[in-house]
Amino acid sequence: MAGDDQRALQYEQTLMYGRYTQELGVYAKEEAARLREEGGRRRSVTERSRSLELLEYDKGRCAKCRICTLRCQKFLISRVGEDWIFLILLGLLMALVSWVVDFAIAICLQAQKWMYGGLESNVFLQYLAWVTYPVVLITFSAGFTQILAPQAVGSGIPEMKTILRGVVLKEYLTFKTFVAKVIGLTCALGSGMPLGKEGPFVHIASLCAALLSKFMSLFGGIYENESRNIEMLAAACAVGVGCCFAAPIGGVLFSIEVTSTFFAVRNYWRGFFAATFSAFIFRVLAVWNKDEETITALFKTRFRLDFPFDLQELPAFAVIGIASGFGGALFVYLNRLIVQFIRKQKTINKFLMKKRLLYPALVTLLVSTLTFPPGFGQFMAGKLTQKESLVTLLDNRTWAKQGIAEGFDYIGNSQAWNHPQVNVFVTLVLFIVMKFWMSALATTIPVPCGAFMPVFVIGAAFGRLVGESMAAWFPDGIHSDGTIYPIVPGGYAVVGAAALSGAVTHTVSTAVIVFELTGQISHILPVMIAVILANAVAQSLQPSLYDSIIRIKKLPYLPELGWGHHEKYNIRVEDIMIRDVTYITLNCCYRDLHDVLLAGHLKTLALLESSESMILLGSIERAQLQALLSLQLGRPRRLEYLRDRATAEKKRLSMVSHPGSEDGSQRVNQEVRFQISTEESTFSPTPTPSMKPLKPALKRPSVVDRPTGIPIPTTLRPPQVSRDSSEGPQDHSSSTLKNLFCVNPETEGLENKNVNINIEGTATPEFRSPPKRVRISVVDDFDVDDDMTIREIAEWEENQLDEQVNFDNCKIDPAPFQLVERTSLHKTHTIFSLLGLDHAYVTSIGRLIGVVSLKELRKAIEGSVAVKGVKVRPPLSSFRDSGTSGTSSSNSENEATELHKLWDRHKSMSLPREHLASDSDEKSQ
């Protein structure tokens, strides 16, 4: 089964961050199993409630107590549906996870230090221990994630952004991913590599929310609401950041900035509520564990309150901001460069693919070698963990002139910065430079990891560097009045941390996170100024780290339009739309359906009144059409046909004679065959030359082990055409069907569920799932088939295909989103991102003239931004530049649709309608 090839392919795809690859066949099967299970569960719930009712009428007064208990239980279960219970549970769960992960990481790091300390006698052994430990941990983490759930790799914020935009990345929210992410993250961070936990925690919180939602849907149906799920995921992102840093406000804001395009203010409270609760529990756990005396900030600072900074220090803060902006852009660029370099280098790539754990191991080896404390590490405070470095960097003493250090000795770790031979400035510079590229490199390792914390620490070090320089420059402070207020380099570190992390993530809310982390807000103005400057610089140079990853992974995402350059996007929908829309008409026959399904790979198809009038009636999902077609050509119908034929034959024969036994045997024969046909076919389709090659299926052991081939006997259904296409036993042995169940590789598995924003939930869960697979073994199938020969079947199918389609039980979206030709790119973008659309039809007076999807829009935006003036694709050729046209009124004239044009076009398109009616009459005969 060419399993190795598949495996290799899959690894190629998942090497960097784990691109979406789960094979559709496997997915379909799992989905079917899930639906079956759910049905069962729901039934059990209903039964339980029924038993309660029975009980009430059944027993006498003595059972009152029991009834009361049951009622309480019922009440509690009904309350479970409330949002706040869900949010509290989510917060509680995440706080526990965060605390446990932190605890485990601390133990891992302690173990490394202990090993390192124990082997002090032999430097080589010491080095071996120092290096082997993280290599083993990282390799385990990479391997474990790779095997269990490749989707757990990376930060998770880009995926969450995509999911919150309305795109379904199904496997990103499964229990497997959750386990892989938590364990992988713990190991990765336990290795002491410069990796962060924020991004993964956003993902973990979302996983938690999704799983909790699934779990709680056992008690009630509210959790099946999709818009509600999106709201809950948004809250979960806030919880993720909140419980990671014990920063509820910053968490909410950061998650909004990082994941949303448009934010519904009515969801605001959910995030705050859950994040606060989570942060509260997270810190309470620390108190309970006697780590802290009471609830305080994670990296508490003790800067003086009365005079935090002088007004004249502000230029220095501004410098930090601007430099951080450049640094942030450089970090994003470097990170992308490394990923792309490794991807492009075919030889490296091949090598790494085969030994896919080699890359993480090599990177870890390099990084840990350089940080080896007795080696180069001594010049860059290598023996400090990330947390220790941050604590020392935020220290409120001045390092440059050790003499006048303030009262209490903070932790003692600050000594690491003070190398006997090397100046503290050199140590800081080395730390910044080395950590910079190390972090950029380390975040490309395919393990669950984030980049926020490393960047935060680098920023703090840079701020400290500037602060120490300032302190050395102005030993007595800048203030001109009587009192001496020495400069506080720790304050600079706070500013630098916020600025650099803000620049990398393109967020302003890092400022708030910094305040919550340090527990002091006295430096608010410097921090805000630096963060805003850093953002201004970084945003004009590079996309944010998360957007960069989205581009690298080619996730279906809509790029933002640039700021204030709306005039530049002088493109209209008619320039970018695809004019050659594949559609079906109300009076089409099954052959047309078949051809259309073969030709295109769109998720939904337009339904027109007729190809003459082109009036858009609605849209139908591909799966619906496939179901229709398989219903028409499926075995049940063939059997029915056979039976009819047999009856007719019998009648004809009964006119002649009465051979009853023959009829009976035939029926038995049919029944047996029918039983065989009810198996669920799980084989993937073979690619035919006419199509794009499908990505080969990945057969994982767990999947292959299932008894797929064994026919499951079901109760015999009356042999009539099943009206419900999703439940009836289906077999798709038809030769015409075998090519239909392939999807566009680009959109494979990426269902956009918000496509139907304008409609009434036409797609039920059953219809959502891709239809059951077609068998490849067509000829095998024919052998065991009924009395028809292959030629007869082909003939029968031909006849069937000529029948007119009956759309009766088909779910139709009666109002797919429509635009007009003259809608501007800017407006299209706004509508797409506001409503989370995947595609929109372009109509002119109700007539379909084109379709524009996310892809076209993305191309248009990126094309017009990146390659200004260059026509990316032919339809874009009608770029209009309003700047060149003389008067300002010409623009508005352009925008107004002149009616006579409308009218002309209209007349040219309106053909007599009678044709249609007569046509359908003909067909129905």
Window 779-818: residues binding a second copy (CB under 8 A): 807-812, 814-815, 818
| Binding to a second copy, residues 613-642 (CB under 8 A) | 615-618
Q: Which amino acid is at 389?
A: S
Contact (Cβ atoms closer than 8 angstroms) between residue 840 and residue 602: no
Residue 6: CB minimum distance to a second copy, A: 37
Could you tell me the two tokens for 834? 């506001």
Position 888 contacts a second copy (CB under 8 A): yes
Nearer to a second copy among residue 410 and residue 437 (C-beta): 410
Position 132 contacts a second copy (CB under 8 A): no
Residue 416: CB minimum distance to a second copy, A: 25
Could you tell me the two tokens for 79? 């309350």
Position 302 contacts a second copy (CB under 8 A): yes
Residue 544: CB minimum distance to a second copy, A: 12
Could you tell me the two tokens for 754? 């918000």
| Binding to a second copy, residues 738-757 (CB under 8 A) | 757
Residue 264: CB minimum distance to a second copy, A: 6
Residue 219: CB minimum distance to a second copy, A: 14
Contact (Cβ atoms closer than 8 angstroms) between residue 473 and residue 494: no
Position 359 contacts a second copy (CB under 8 A): no
Spatial CB neighbours of 716, under 8 Å, sequence gap ≥ 6: 671, 674, 675
Angle, CA of 486, 491 and 494, to the nearest 5°: 170
Q: Which of 138, 203, 161, 105 is nearest to 444 (CA)?
A: 138
Site string for a second copy, 535-574 (x = CB under 8 A): xx-----------------------xx-xx-xx----x--
Position 899 contacts a second copy (CB under 8 A): yes
Nearer to a second copy among residue 312 and residue 669 (C-beta): 312
**What burial letters (b/e) apply to 788-807, b meaning 16+ CB within 10 Å?**
beeeebeebbeebbeebbeb
Nearer to a second copy among residue 580 and residue 898 (C-beta): 898
CA dihedral (86, 89, 91, 95) in degrees, to 10, reads -160
Question: Parallel, antiparallel, or unpaired: how do β-strands 583-585 and 604-608 relate?
Answer: parallel
Considering only the stretches 163-171, 195-203, 650-658, 840-848, report the one whose residues sit in contact with a second copy under the rule CB under 8 A. 840-848
* SS3 (DSSP) at 167: strand
**Number of amino acids touching a second copy (CB under 8 A):** 124
* SS3 (DSSP) at 15: coil
Position 421 contacts a second copy (CB under 8 A): no
Nearer to a second copy among residue 702 and residue 908 (C-beta): 908
Contact (Cβ atoms closer than 8 angstroms) between residue 854 and residue 839: yes
Position 917 contacts a second copy (CB under 8 A): yes
Phi, psi of 443 (to 5 degrees): -75, -5
Q: Which of 580, 621, 589 is nearest to 848 (CA)?
A: 580
Position 690 contacts a second copy (CB under 8 A): no
Residue 889: CB minimum distance to a second copy, A: 7
Q: Which of 208, 211, 262, 266 is nearest to 239 (CA)?
A: 208
Residue 486: CB minimum distance to a second copy, A: 14
Q: Where are the beta strands (DSSP E) in 649-774?
A: 750-752
Residue 340: CB minimum distance to a second copy, A: 27
Q: Which of 332, 304, 320, 311 is nearest to 396 (CA)?
A: 304
| Binding to a second copy, residues 215-244 (CB under 8 A) | 221-222, 225, 227-228
| Binding to a second copy, residues 305-324 (CB under 8 A) | 305-311
Position 333 contacts a second copy (CB under 8 A): no
Nearer to a second copy among residue 10 and residue 756 (C-beta): 756
Q: Which of 118, 123, 91, 301 is nearest to 208 (CA)?
A: 91
Site string for a second copy, 845-864 (x = CB under 8 A): xx------------------
Q: Which of 732, 741, 739 is nearest to 793 (CA)?
A: 732
| Binding to a second copy, residues 691-720 (CB under 8 A) | none
Q: Which of 132, 141, 128, 169 is nearest to 356 (CA)?
A: 141
* SS3 (DSSP) at 605: strand
| Binding to a second copy, residues 451-490 (CB under 8 A) | 479, 481
d(CA 597, CA 605): 9
Task: Give burial (CB, 10 Å; 0-12/13-18/19+) of 821.
Answer: middle
Position 295 contacts a second copy (CB under 8 A): yes
Position 289 contacts a second copy (CB under 8 A): no
Nearer to a second copy among residue 368 and residue 864 (C-beta): 864
Nearer to a second copy among residue 265 and residue 656 (C-beta): 265
Position 723 contacts a second copy (CB under 8 A): no
Interface with a second copy (CB under 8 A), residue from 575, 609, 797, 838:
609
Site string for a second copy, 249-288 (x = CB under 8 A): x---x--xx--xxxxxxx-xx--xx--x--xx--xx--x-
| Binding to a second copy, residues 583-602 (CB under 8 A) | 586
